[in-house]
Amino acid sequence: MDGKLKTPMQLREIIVITDGRSNIGDSPAGAARIAHRKGIIVNTIGITDSDGAEEPFVELDGIARAGGGICDIIPLPRLGYSVQMVTRQSIQMTIERAVSRQLQKITGCSMEDIPPDSRARVLEYIQRLGDEVDLKCVVALDCSGSMKNKIRTAKNSIQDLLISLKARKGRSCLGMVAFPGGDGRDSRVVSTFTDNFEELAVKLEGIKAGGPTPTYAGIMLSSRLFEEDNPRLYPAEMIAQRQIEAGEHLPQGGNENPFIL
């Protein structure tokens, strides 16, 4: 079996990075739900000052739940690692869900209900798909006043995310939205989708922190970035599922390359 995809499959993700609660505009979870219906996965990363104080981040968990994504709460020094892990794991999770649903249909049990030795093959397949799938990702960065001393780390983390994404087999590109957007705007597009590291670095330079936290506006603008790019959007899991139903890249028995990561 060759490892190539027959039709391009693309996942769409938003990663919201913030250090506090939304304090202006509508419910951010609502925005995440709308985005998810359009086939976009919304993940959230909350930066805490002290490890463990998770109480103010219930909202972020809610956003991730509504957006079908992952929420991670971490102290600032771990931001770079978290951004990459959340991106990777949510790709994995989206594909896993689609495969799991198929599995449930066929066998009546989920991945959890299969002993580890038996599910290894399915996991191999999910992992490979996770590396090969094309990815479009928007980082929505909280640029409110409280983020002032965190912006530099956040910028570095975003640049570093692009380095990691470019090493994947599938094509990846990154867009960037800031909320608030400066000059009284509640959000603005910092960069449209790009895979050019230098281009992104230049655009990131212009970001400055200050103002309230309009998370709703940030998520809404992020999901519009995908629309401008392609008006026809399908839920990510549906795309993955359609591919699987079509029998594309199902693992075949007797694949004698024993080392598939």
Partner 1 sequence: MIKRINIEPGTVIRGRWYGGEYRVIALLGSGGTARVYLVEDIPGGDRYALKLSTDMAGIDREYRILARLGPMDYIPAVLYRDDCRVGGINCYFFVMTYFEGENLKRVCEAKRMPPKTLVKIAAVTAGICLWLNRRGVFYCDIKPENLVLDKRGGGLCLVDFGGAVKEGEAVVQFTPAFDRASWGRGQRTADEGYQGFAILMMLAEMLLGGLRDTGMGFDALLDTIDKSQLSKGLKKVIIKGLKKDCQSLEDLINSLSNTADLIPGGKQRRRQRLDVAINLALLASIAFFIMVIAVIL
The residue ranges that bind partner 1 (CB under 8 A) are: 54, 57, 61, 64, 70-73, 80-81, 84-86, 88-89, 92, 96, 111-112, 115-116, 119-120, 123-124, 126-127, 131, 160, 163-164, 166-169, 258-259, 261
For partner 1, the closer CB: 71 or 147: 71
> Closest distance between partner 1 and the C-beta of residue 75, in Å?
12
> Closest distance between partner 1 and the C-beta of residue 126, in Å?
6
Cα distance between residue 178 and residue 180, in whole Å: 6
For partner 1, the closer CB: 115 or 184: 115
CA distances from 176 to 32, 49, 80, 195 (A): 16, 24, 16, 12
Residue with tokens 């993700």: 13
The DSSP output letter for 136 is E
> Closest distance between partner 1 and the C-beta of residue 189, in Å?
26
> Closest distance between partner 1 and the C-beta of residue 231, in Å?
31
The DSSP output letter for 52 is T
For partner 1, the closer CB: 36 or 78: 78
Q: Is 176 left (phi over 0), alpha (psi -120 to 50) or beta?
A: beta
> Closest distance between partner 1 and the C-beta of residue 256, in Å?
13
How long a stretch of residues is the chain?
Answer: 261
Residue 46 near residue 60, CB atoms below 8 Å: yes
For partner 1, the closer CB: 163 or 246: 163
Give the DSSP letter string of 166-220. Answer: HTSSS-EEEEEEEES-BTTBS-EEEEEEE--HHHHHHHHHT----S---HHHHHH
Tokens of 46: 């909350």
For partner 1, the closer CB: 131 or 134: 131
> Closest distance between partner 1 and the C-beta of residue 87, in Å?
11
For partner 1, the closer CB: 42 or 225: 42
